[in-house]
Amino acid sequence: MASKSGQSIIKAQYHFRPKGQLKCEVHKQNDIIFLCQDCKMLICSKCSITLHKHHIDSFLEISDIKTRHNQILQDFVNETENVNIPKLNQEIISSRTKLTSCKPMYDKLRKNIIDNTKKCKLELDKITEDYIALCDKMEVAAMDLIQTHITDLESRLETLRELSSEYKQTLQTGTAVLVYDSVTEIREMDPDIPPTPNIDMAEFTPGMDRLSHLKQALGNLKLPTDHLQVGSATSGHSDQRPVVRPKQSKEVDQASTGEVRYKLRDRPTVMSQFPYPDNIGSVCPTSDGRAWLCYYNTVNLIDNQGQVIQTILHRGHISDISLDPTTGRLWFCCGVDKTIREVSTPYTTVTRFTTEDVPLSLCVTREGRVVVGTEGRQGKVGVYTVDGQVLHTAIEKGLVRPISQCGVTGNIAVVVNYKRIIVYNSTLQPLVNYQGEGIKRGLFTPHRFGPLTVVYDSKGNIVIADQTRDTIELISGAGKYITTLHTNKRWQGPVGIQKGDVLWSHLVLDTGKWGLKLLKYYSD
């Protein structure tokens, strides 16, 4: 009974007895006559006076529960035939429609690129070839992604049909034991239908200033850096998640050393501000203008006015949170049980893997990896697959938190001991060690540099919340100081970057209360 990734939609079961068997597994000569509700086991008369004698108040005769369970089976059949199967059929039709639109969409994209290329000089030909190659890869990835999704849906559809047929027969001729076992299967099924992957994310914008850089003259090919994957696409998490992205230079960060043009505002514009009385350990803005905030064992999703939309509670201390740039799902690490977890549904968290040392911070990357900072005999930065396989490790002296990935180069920035920032490439080769060099505002010495949070913006620059000087600093991805974006009267907390380079900053408001300001520091 296959589902996504070829796995069953029925969770693993641990029966002492094969499904439908009438004899007791312990006393094999005796028939099953009771359900021990305390143990959720079917037992015989001898079990009731020996192994389960202390549970006598929970016993139910198996014949008495058949009627109740028959209704559960009937409800499942009705739901399957009237709701789930039609839904799956409609989803398959919708996905096939999207699949047929894939080629025309990319044909049009290629045509726009080629037409604009004719207006450029001959030196742009190589860039054109690179862009066309990216489109080809994206088309293959998109079609592969949708086809894999369709195959998954068809597999689920076949599974539901088989189950519906089987349970119809059970309703007609099944024993009470078979009915009970069938209901147990139903209760442990995964009912979620994976949504159709979104492939409508690529667009081509012709360049207007042909006297600047050659790439700008050709135009900007906007890529869904995390969503579409070249090669084998899957509908869920997988270790094989290569991403269509621009070629990475050996330079630390071209986007932050002059190739990407931008203009800073004289002072950041306050887009919104509001009080937020609780402490905040991490800020993760979403693409739709909201943000996840975590502190201790609580994670809140709030809107841009501070209203709490959703709350997630965990039994242990949540050290850090991160959003998967591909799925938009929330991940967090717990130092108590050394787990890395994903919030798979609004009310369900799934443990993806555990770490040897205590995890303090994490960042889910666009390649589908999880970068984790840990505390042990020595600080470590590790790159893991989503199921916990260690790919790369770097050793650091001190605490490693927090972590951010550059959306332009794929480089990874971490804060070490709240004193310095290290930039690595994707395999954790160190590129930059920044300790506040170049900061000019106010009296500055190295021991006064106290980075609390580090996040990349869309230009490949790094925003730093400095808790020692109560400022927000901006440096390039190459570790060059650019400017002090904001200075608080007192206390600077963590920051996060929303799509469109809207900066969420936790600080003390002019009213003297703790709160959040949403700042815009680039000119549009």
Contacts of 415 (CB under 8 A, 6+ apart): 400, 401, 402, 421, 451, 452, 453, 454
Phi-psi map region of 114: left, alpha, beta (phi>0 left; psi -120 to 50 alpha): alpha
Tens of pLDDT, residue by residue, the chain (524 residues):
444 333 334 333 334 567 888 888 888 899 999 999 888 889 999 999 988 888 888 899 888 888 778 888 888 888 888 888 988 998 899 888 888 888 888 888 888 888 877 766 666 666 777 878 888 888 888 888 888 888 888 888 888 888 888 888 888 888 888 888 888 888 877 777 777 777 766 666 665 544 555 566 666 666 664 444 443 343 344 343 333 333 333 333 444 344 456 899 999 999 999 999 889 999 999 988 999 999 989 999 999 999 999 999 998 899 999 999 988 899 999 989 999 999 987 778 999 999 999 999 999 999 899 999 998 778 899 999 999 999 999 998 888 989 999 988 999 999 998 899 999 999 999 999 999 998 875 555 555 889 999 999 999 999 999 998 899 999 999 999 999 999 988 889 999 999 999 999 999 998 889 999 999 999 87
Query: What is the per-residue DSSP string for 346-378?
Result: TTEEEEEEE-SSEEEEEEE-TTS-EEEEEESSS
Sheet with 318-323: list strands edge to edge: 318-323, 330-334, 339-345, 348-354
Residue 420, CB-side half-sphere exposure with 13 Å CA sphere: 12
Separation of CA 506 from chain center: 23
Tokens of 301: 């999703």
User: Domain map of the chain by residue range?
Assistant: 65-247, 269-522
Question: Which homologous superfamily does the CATH classification assign to the domain defined by 269-522?
Answer: YVTN repeat-like/Quinoprotein amine dehydrogenase (2.130.10.10)
- Reply yes or no: is the peptide bond before residue 402 cis, omega within 30 of 0: yes
CA-CA distance, 135 to 199, in Å (whole number)? 12
Look at residues 52, 17, 328 and name the one whose alpha carbon lies nearest to residue 184: 17
Amino acid at 385: T
Separation of CA 482 from chain center: 31
CA-CA distance, 69 to 60, in Å (whole number)? 13
For residues 48-81, b (16+ Cβ closer than 10 Å) or e, as one string? beebbeebeeebeebeebbeebbebbeebbeebe
